[in-house]
């Protein structure tokens, strides 16, 4: 690659041809402020906060969008740049109806931070903000246009990462805004509720719909028995929202914090992640058996069904492929009915008094909990869903010194888990967990990978494929002898869509496909701490695999509480009648 030599703030640097000024400056550890720029997205160059001065040019250049040219002399902090930056911040603030003090993003708002550094102490520009009512129609995401700075990160996210296009720009000039289709309420459009836009919004224009107040009410009501579950990705994200670097694991402290907040029973979604593997693995084997023994009605490849953003996506875009979706509920929704059937049965708590709360790295889970079919227990199975961010906020509100907490363990019965459940939080994790169990069921032996680490399905490639040859089968699965099981993994809906194209075209070689709506999987879900970036996702993934490796039990079928559950409660076994009623679901075509 051709090298280009330039000068930034009187210091020389050599970079590859095509590098932007912004990236070149980073190499010199010169920080240039940005707003519309995001590592995950294409270049927009529309906020203009990052402008710099190039000697010889009258116009300033947007450093995020301008490639370096040989001999360029750049100034990132000249008088002209400083004046312009200040004016741009003043301008953005003049159209921003930010009620900073009460905003969800206060303290973690990119506009607020830059305003603190660069805006005028006495902004002479007039207030031109439009105080519109936020769209609170969605159970997952609240959209407040009056806080929008039109950076279009959300639009690019929805289009480039998710291929959903629920948000786009409408109007021009003073009327330019981020809109849904015909300004329809968010809950009536093709939004998948994934919340990837929320984690990339620099301000409070897009935030999760919060249920903190409802949960506090439940916690303070002596007549209500609160049961909480936490998803695997929460424990590797929570630290970031409480001031730690990405990549920390806080399982034990998180459990203690939940007890301190006053939850009556602290359980773990990981428990039902293990349960998902048993049910879903059995379903996969049943489908394989049917197909290989000539039953034409069984549909392969089978798709995983744990990601509610993905579910809504396929319901909208590929409704005729719904038969491929595993009928298994997500771990959250398997936990829900158990918390209101198995748990009260065993403890004598009145199920009517149970409030079931889940802490999720996800905004789509809020929508999922509201789906009408999620009432298998006879009640709403999961009453409230909080994001990782909301939990962090409650911990702060309660004045808990998180770092000083002792570590503790979840309550038993619905709390034990294996490493296989932990890795659900990363893309490829469900696949890996499923293979660990299914392979062993079929061959009676452990998967042929060192330390159970099925590395071919790990990583951050948007689409990954792997093949596993089945050899040495036990009697029951002899028909699988020599079969090469092919699997594929996609994360980010744009990648899922590519796999669906192939399945739809009839040229999909796979038996089993894992899809996670969010890039990186749940660890970078729409409910996780903000910001997100490739580095942050890698750090969180690392923490997840560390957690898995640190556990003694790492295969779902070895979870003793799961065994007990089947012995005592789901007595007709995986895919049995009770399972079917409580743990499986159906889908709604939304063409």
Partner 1 sequence: MSEDKINKMQEKINLIFSDCEVCEVVSQALAEDPEQILKMLLVSSLRGRGGAGFPTSLKWKFARQAPGDRKFVIVNADEGEPGTFKDREILEKVPYKVFAGMAICAHTIGAREGFIYLRGEYNYMRKTLEEQIQDFHNKIAGKLDFVIKIVSGAGAYVCGEETALIESMEGKRGEPRNKPPYPVTAGYLGCPTVVNNVETLVYVTMIMKMGPQHFASLGTQHSRGAKVFSISGDTPIPGIYELELGMSLAEFVELFGDGDTKAVQVGGAGGFCVPRKKFTETIIGFEGVPTGGSMMLFNSTRSMYNVLHNYLDFFCEESCGQCTPCRVGCQQLRKGIEEVKNHSLKPVHLDVLKKMTDTMRYASKCGLGQSVPNSFNSIIDNFREEIIF
User: Which residues of the shown chain bind partner 1 in the complex (CB under 8 A)?
Assistant: 43-49, 51, 58-60, 62, 65-67, 80, 83-84, 87-88, 91-92, 94-95, 124-126, 128, 149-150, 152, 169, 171-176
Nearer to partner 1, 36 or 241 (CB): 36
Q: Which residues are catalytic?
A: 280, 283, 306, 326, 365, 368, 373, 522
Number of other CB atoms surrounding residue 359 within 10 Å: 29
Residue 116: alpha-carbon gap to chain centroid: 30
**Whole-number Å distance between alpha carbons of 190 and 316:** 7
CA distances from 168 to 134, 197, 494 (A): 17, 12, 17
Residues with Cβ within 8 Å of 499's Cβ and at least 6 positions away in sequence, in order, are: 463, 488, 490, 508, 510, 513, 515
Nearest residue to 301 (alpha-carbon basis) of 556, 583, 507, 576: 507
Nearer to partner 1, 63 or 229 (CB): 63
- Give the DSSP per-residue string, 367-405: HHHHSTT--TTSS-S--EEEEHHHHHHHHHHTT--GGGP
Q: List, in sequence order, every beta strand (DSSP E) within 474-591.
A: 484-491, 512-516
CB of 64 to partner 1, least distance (A): 9
End-to-end CA separation in angstroms for the chain: 47
Nearer to partner 1, 72 or 314 (CB): 72
Nearer to partner 1, 171 or 378 (CB): 171
Are 30 and 15 contacting, i.e. CB atoms less than 8 angstroms apart? no
Residues with Cβ within 8 Å of 246's Cβ and at least 6 positions away in sequence, in order, are: 239, 240, 535, 536, 539, 540
CB of 171 to partner 1, least distance (A): 7
**Whole-number Å distance between alpha carbons of 366 and 115:** 33
SS3 (DSSP) at 2: coil
CB of 48 to partner 1, least distance (A): 5
CB of 250 to partner 1, least distance (A): 39
**Whole-number Å distance between alpha carbons of 31 and 46:** 19
**Whole-number Å distance between alpha carbons of 434 and 423:** 11
Nearer to partner 1, 43 or 224 (CB): 43
**Whole-number Å distance between alpha carbons of 431 and 578:** 25
Are 68 and 2 contacting, i.e. CB atoms less than 8 angstroms apart? no
Strands 177-179 and 168-170: antiparallel
CA distances from 404 to 126, 256, 269, 400 (A): 47, 10, 25, 9
Nearer to partner 1, 169 or 346 (CB): 169
Nearer to partner 1, 195 or 204 (CB): 204
Nearer to partner 1, 169 or 571 (CB): 169
């Amino acid at each position: 690659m051709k090298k280009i030599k330039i000068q930034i703030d009187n210091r020389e640097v050599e970079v590859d041809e095509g590098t932007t000024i912004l990236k070149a400056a980073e190499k010199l550890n010169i920080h240039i402020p940005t707003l519309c720029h995001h590592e995950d997205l294409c270049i927009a160059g529309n906020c203009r906060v990052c402008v710099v001065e190039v000697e010889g040019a009258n116009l300033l250049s947007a450093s995020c969008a301008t490639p370096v040219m040989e001999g360029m002399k750049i100034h990132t902090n000249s008088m002209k740049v400083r004046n312009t930056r200040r004016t741009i911040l003043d301008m953005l603030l003049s159209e921003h109806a930010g009620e900073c003090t009460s905003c969800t993003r206060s303290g973690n708002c990119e506009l607020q931070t830059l305003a603190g550094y660069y805006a005028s102490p006495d902004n002479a520009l007039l207030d031109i903000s439009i105080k519109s009512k936020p769209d609170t129609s969605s159970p997952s995401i609240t959209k407040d246009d009056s806080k929008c700075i039109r950076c279009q990160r959300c639009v690019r996210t929805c289009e480039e990462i998710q291929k959903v296009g629920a948000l786009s720009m409408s109007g021009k000039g003073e009327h330019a805004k981020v809109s849904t289709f015909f300004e329809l309420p968010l809950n009536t459009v093709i939004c998948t509720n994934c919340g990837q836009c929320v984690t990339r919004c620099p301000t409070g224009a897009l935030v999760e719909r919060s249920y903190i107040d409802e949960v506090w009410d439940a916690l303070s009501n002596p007549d209500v028995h609160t049961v909480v579950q936490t998803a695997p990705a929460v424990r590797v994200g929570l630290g970031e929202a409480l001031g730690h670097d990405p990549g920390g694991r806080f399982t034990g402290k998180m459990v203690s914090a939940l007890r301190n907040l006053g939850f009556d029973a602290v359980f773990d979604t990981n428990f039902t992640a293990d349960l998902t593997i048993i049910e879903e693995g059995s379903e996969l084997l049943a489908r394989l058996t049917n197909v290989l023994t000539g039953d034409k009605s069984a549909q392969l490849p089978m798709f995983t069904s744990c990601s509610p953003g993905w579910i809504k996506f396929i319901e909208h875009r590929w409704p005729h492929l719904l038969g491929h979706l595993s009928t298994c509920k997500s771990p959250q929704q398997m936990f829900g009915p158990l918390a209101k059937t198995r748990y009260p049965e065993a403890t004598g708590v009145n199920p009517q008094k149970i409030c079931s709360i889940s802490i999720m790295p996800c905004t789509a889970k809020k929508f999922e909990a509201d789906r009408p079919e999620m009432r298998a227990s006879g009640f709403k199975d999961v009453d409230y869903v909080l994001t990782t961010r909301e939990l962090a906020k409650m911990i702060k509100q309660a004045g808990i010194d998180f770092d000083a907490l002792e570590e503790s363990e979840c309550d038993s019965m619905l709390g034990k888990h294996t490493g296989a459940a932990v890795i659900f939080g990363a893309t490829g994790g469900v696949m890996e967990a499923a293979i660990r169990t299914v392979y062993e069921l079929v061959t009676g032996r452990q998967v042929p990978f060192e330390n159970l680490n099925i590395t071919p399905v790990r990583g951050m490639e948007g689409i990954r494929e792997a093949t596993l040859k089945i050899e040495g089968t036990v009697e029951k699965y002899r028909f699988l002898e020599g079969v090469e099981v092919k699997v594929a993994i996609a994360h980010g809906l744009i990648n899922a869509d590519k796999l669906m194209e192939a399945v739809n075209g009839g040229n999909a070689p796979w038996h089993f496909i894992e899809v996670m709506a969010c890039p990186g999987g749940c660890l970078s879900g729409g409910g996780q701490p903000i910001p997100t970036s490739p580095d942050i996702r890698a750090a969180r993934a690392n923490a997840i695999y560390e957690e898995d490796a640190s556990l003694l039990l790492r295969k779902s079928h070895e979870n003793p509480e799961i065994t007990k559950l089947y012995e005592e409660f789901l007595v007709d076994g995986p895919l049995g009648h009770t399972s079917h009623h409580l743990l499986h679901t159906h889908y709604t075509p939304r063409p």
